[in-house]
Structure 1
Amino acid sequence: MRQWLNDLEQRHGLGTLVLKSRQLVLASFVVLLGLVMLRGFMVQGDEYSFRPVLAFALPLVLFLPSIISRRPRGHAWLAFVSLLYIAQGVMFAFATGQFLRGALETAAALGLFVGALGYARFAARQARG
């Protein structure tokens, strides 16, 4: 795996890989946050309350400062948190009538995981020189 990543760095360059992984993080973060908020609003039923939305979306929102300031360590922690959303998406995908929503959440969380880990690795290597 390490050899494959080193070959990838040689072919494309660290600057390009940092940019691509950052774009993947931003896109999948927005999609995942939208799906989580949508599910939070659907959970509450007829009553209008922000508590379920806040409970589902708060772990993602807490990483916004790290994403905005482009901190590799924050992206590494975001990758670990995205694993929870992968597991949750798989769980919802196997629930009756929730396959599409669960599959979309799993795909978005997997994109966030790959992008965040890629950004953490490539940006840290770029900063070291």
Structure 2
Amino acid sequence: MISNEEQPIRAIILYDSKTSGGSTDRLIDAIGHELAEMGAYVEKAKCRANADYSFVREFDVVILGAPVYYLVVSSQLLGALVQSNLKKNLRGKKVALFLACGSPEPMALTMYLP
């Protein structure tokens, strides 16, 4: 029997983060939670510069996320876009990008401000 219900949107968050629990991780969790609350099926996967991204074709929405270190986007996300087949597999997909700058820790204010 075939259901008349629509299939949930399939979304994947591809990200890079060198720390656990930092700004990037918090954004990933918040975005994933909101998408799931709206009924989407959500997966998360870390970016690797030379990975095979053929699996991206299985998703309707691709969200790319990474931290910015010293005014440069993380090397794994940049590498994935330049060195792998990620860009090719994003064709025809809905794509969103988020970048995280700074630390959620109060001490970061003294590190980033003169």
TM-score, normalised to structure 2, is 0.31
Which structure features the higher share of strand residues?
Answer: 2
TM-score, normalised to structure 1, is 0.29
Which structure features the higher share of helix residues?
Answer: 1
